Amino acid sequence: MKTIKGPALFLAQFCSDEAPFNTLENIAKWAGGLGYKGVQIPSWDKRIFDLERAAESLEYCQEVTDTLARYGLELTELSTHLQGQLVAVHPVYDEMFDSFAPEEVHNNPDARQKWAVNQLLLAAKASKNFGLTAHATFSGALLWPFVYPWPQRPAGLVEAGFAELGKRWKPILDAFDEAGVDVCYELHPGEDLHDGATFERFLKEVDYHPRANILYDPSHFVLQQLDYLGFIDEYWERIKMFHVKDAEFNPSAKQGVYGGYEGWVERAGRFRSLGDGQTDFKQIFSKLTSKGFDGWAVIEWECALKHPEAGAEEGVKFVNDHIIRVTEKAFDDFAGGATDEARNRRILGL
């Protein structure tokens, strides 16, 4: 067993045009001042990070590393959530997802998809340059409009969708394999990979690629009413990243999992700041520790009610209180004694 590293913070929800969230230097100083030990960087936000430079320049990567180190921080992983989403987009979402890409590829799904794939390839190179071993992303979705089987899905539709998804991701996974980096898909509603069953379908299509792994975020499983503790037992060997994010599910006579098209405050299932939701993090940290997870505990703050800065401040203590310093000896070693094979046979009456 190893002690989980942390606390770390995913910066995506905090970047803005206002200080201290407008430059890497400023946001690192802020996060380090709160007590964070690591940050996960969104690769699409030019205010704090340049993915192209990181893929091409070891000098730039050292500048980023040095900037973080000045405030006691490490780079935990890079994220391409937005770019990964664009690897596979059903046409019904084209207009809405165009905002995830530069204007020059808007209204051009083929060009947008090629741009997204190139972004992932750059992220593989950049991750290698930083000496990282894991990368965070989304899978994208071709089948999400058909997630509920009404009207009845034509035979073979799901299989065709996953075959295409696997075809698109296999070369990307190979590039990450060459870089020595795991691709960790955040299993998330709106993605074709959103639970264990869909992840297994995908694994089959990419020939159980060793770099196809999981970013474990229990909040999305709370909202789906999935057994998020049992999930660890099923998939711990593929869990290479961990988002510490809380959620709650309070069904009513008016709505349940689907949310009735309500906003986040009114939904039965909603994200909460750490400690304000229903997620059993004591058991999650215990299970991940017992399974040998040695990555970072990265807070992804999302809450329908609380201010983000309050969530970030409270999150440091929350994670520190849940990280288990692993033991190097058994609790009952004091009662043990030296033994050998002959003694064991005598005890057994042999």
CATH code: domain of residue 28 = 3.20.20.150
pLDDT of 336 strictly over 90: no
- What is the average pLDDT score of the chain? 96
pLDDT of residue 343: 87
Give SS3 for 209: coil
Provide the domain count of the chain: 1
Tell me which amino acid residue 289 is.
Answer: T
Domain interval for residue 53: 5-347
**What does the pLDDT look like over 9-25, one tens digit per residue?**
999 999 999 999 999 99
Contact of 246 with 277, CB cutoff 8 Å:
yes
Nearest to 220 by CA among 251, 185, 189, 258: 189
pLDDT of residue 332: 55
pLDDT of 335 strictly over 80: no
Residue 326 structure tokens: 């692993």
**What does the pLDDT look like over 83-114, one tens digit per residue?**
999 999 999 999 999 999 999 999 999 999 99
pLDDT of residue 25: 98
**What does the pLDDT look like over 193-218, one tens digit per residue?**
999 999 999 999 999 999 999 999 99
Stretch 154-181: mean pLDDT: 98
pLDDT of residue 182: 98
Which segments of 145-233 are extended strands (E)?
A: 182-186, 212-216
pLDDT of 70 strictly over 80: yes
pLDDT of residue 127: 98
Whole-prediction pTM: 0.95
**What does the pLDDT look like over 220-238, one tens digit per residue?**
999 999 999 999 999 999 9
